[in-house]
Amino acid sequence: MNRTHILALAAALLTLTLVAFLGSVRPSAASAPTLRLVAPTDDLPALAPVTVELHALEATALAAWELTLTYDPSFLTLADMEAAPGLGNDQADCDPSGKRCVLLLGPRPTLGGVNLGAVSYGRASGLDGEGVVALLHFQPTGRTGTTAIGLTDGLVTDRQGQAVTPLLESTELTLGAGGHRLYLPSISNNP
């Protein structure tokens, strides 16, 4: 990583931290973007890996986001988080002189959830409208039933570092249906 990339990354992180620490502009709910979790709607096997998408909706020059993800660890474990193209290109294969590059923040376990985030930097504009900004990869534990995956403490910033509290939309997963069934023969003690 060259000096320009490091300085751009440091400036983006400093801006996000300062805005979060000093307070943020809180526009009306009508102008705030939405961060929405989108999970598969099928009944899923209780042990098969699951990917949940984090969508940004009604965004204007979205450049960074952070939030706390909540879920029941008796059902799921967050295995990995991956950058999605809505926010920009993965940092490993990105040139900020013509594109937006993404640096993932987290996952970092915290009391009551997992802190997640991403910062983008580069010459290109931030996300306008809607797009997938992250892929969350979960590993179910084998427990069956329906479980909620929630979002709290959200914050997004635009390219100029102006912070906004987004609307947050959670989701549910149904685990266990669609798994393998074992049919045993019936045994009778009657002659």
Residues near 85 by beta carbon (within 8 Å), at least 6 away in sequence: 131, 132
**138 in a domain, yes or no?**
yes
Does residue 104 lie within any of the structural domains?
A: yes
DSSP-assigned letter for residue 35: E
Helix, strand, coil distribution of the chain in percent, nearest 5: 15, 50, 35
* Residue 48: domain span: 3-25+32-175
CA-CA distance, 151 to 38, in Å (whole number)?
12
Nearest to 149 by CA among 164, 131, 169: 169
Is residue 145 situated within a structural domain?
yes
pLDDT for position 21 = 47
Do residues 98 and 132 make contact, with C-beta atoms less than 8 angstroms apart? Answer: no
Task: Give residue 89's pLDDT.
Answer: 84
Residue 170 placed within a domain: yes
pLDDT digits (tens, 9 = 90+) for 144-186: 999 999 999 999 999 899 999 999 999 999 998 554 555 566 6
pLDDT of residue 77: 94
Identify whether 181 is part of a domain.
no
Q: How many domains does the chain have?
A: 1
160 lies in some domain: yes
> For residue 153, is it within any domain?
yes
pLDDT, averaged per 10 consecutive residues of the chain (191 residues), comes to 51 47 42 93 89 96 96 94 89 85 93 93 92 96 94 94 95 76 63 63
Q: What is the DSSP string of 120-184?
A: EEESS--EEEEEEEEEEEEEE-S--EEEEEEEEEEEEEETT--EEPPEEE-EEEEEBTBS---PP
- Report d(CA 170, CA 54) in Å as an integer: 10
Backbone angles phi, psi at 140, to 5 degrees: -65, 155
CATH at 18: 2.60.40.680
Q: Return the DSSP state at 100.
A: E
How far is the C-alpha of 9 from the C-alpha of 119, rounded, in Å?
Answer: 8
Q: Is residue 107 part of a domain?
A: yes
> Given this model, what pLDDT does residue 92 score?
79
How far apart CA 138 and CA 52 sit, in angstroms, is 8
